[in-house]
């Protein structure tokens, strides 16, 4: 039997672990101009630089994306968890953010995609990365999709 002697609650320990993991992915992304190994190796990855909805603190999260014309599409899957990721709530509160793609930083506006367009985009992502179909099956919520539209065209 393993006894947890940490003064932190299990949920706090998980947050620290996820935060540490994100920190490693972010550092590797920036060092290698958007390329990382591990779970994201070969996958299209971007960094979202956003502000906390409640705290106002600057946050950075690595997420897979789908390029759709001039837009960058991200999926608030949280691996099929029953709740949306914190970054989703932050983007809804503060939609003007910066994303990092490769070695480029882009000013964008975040907007949620809904309805038939959401279905089309999610189906495309799930066909490219089948784990996204599994994520939707694992949760009762509709996984939100966010489109990042560059504020200046030509990127």
Confidence label for 20 from pLDDT (cuts 50, 70 and 90) = confident
Sequence length of the chain is 155
Q: Alpha-carbon Rg of the chain, whole angstroms?
A: 16
pLDDT of residue 49: 97
Q: Which two tokens stand for residue 8?
A: 């932190």
Q: Distance between CA 146 and CA 111 in Å, rounded?
A: 5
Q: Which two tokens stand for residue 51?
A: 């502000």
Residues spanned by the domain of 139? 11-150
Q: Number of folded domains in the chain?
A: 1
| pLDDT single digits (tens) 47-87 | 999 999 999 999 999 999 999 999 999 999 999 999 999 99
pLDDT of residue 21: 73
| Residue 2 maps to a domain | no
| Residue 6 maps to a domain | no
| Residue 115 maps to a domain | yes
Q: For position 112, which CATH number holds? A: 2.30.110.10
Q: Distance between CA 136 and CA 3 in Å, rounded?
A: 34
Q: Given 3-state DSSP classes, what are the helix, strand and coil percentages for the chain, each rounded to the nearest 5?
A: 35, 30, 35
| Residue 155 maps to a domain | no
């Amino acid at each position: 039997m393993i006894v947890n002697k940490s003064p932190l609650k299990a949920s706090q320990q998980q947050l620290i672990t996820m935060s540490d993991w994100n920190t490693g992915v972010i550092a590797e992304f920036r060092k290698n101009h958007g390329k990382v190994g591990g779970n994201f190796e070969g996958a299209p990855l971007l960094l979202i630089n956003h502000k906390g909805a409640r705290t106002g603190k600057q946050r950075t999260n690595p997420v897979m994306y789908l390029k759709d014309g001039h837009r960058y599409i991200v999926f608030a899957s949280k691996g099929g968890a029953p709740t949306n990721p914190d970054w989703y709530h932050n983007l809804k509160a503060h939609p003007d953010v910066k994303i990092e793609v490769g070695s480029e930083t882009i000013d964008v506006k975040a907007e949620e995609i809904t309805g038939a367009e959401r279905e089309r985009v999610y189906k495309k992502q799930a066909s490219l990365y089948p784990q996204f179909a599994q994520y939707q099956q694992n949760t009762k919520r509709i996984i939100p999709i966010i489109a990042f539209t560059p504020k200046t065209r030509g990127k």
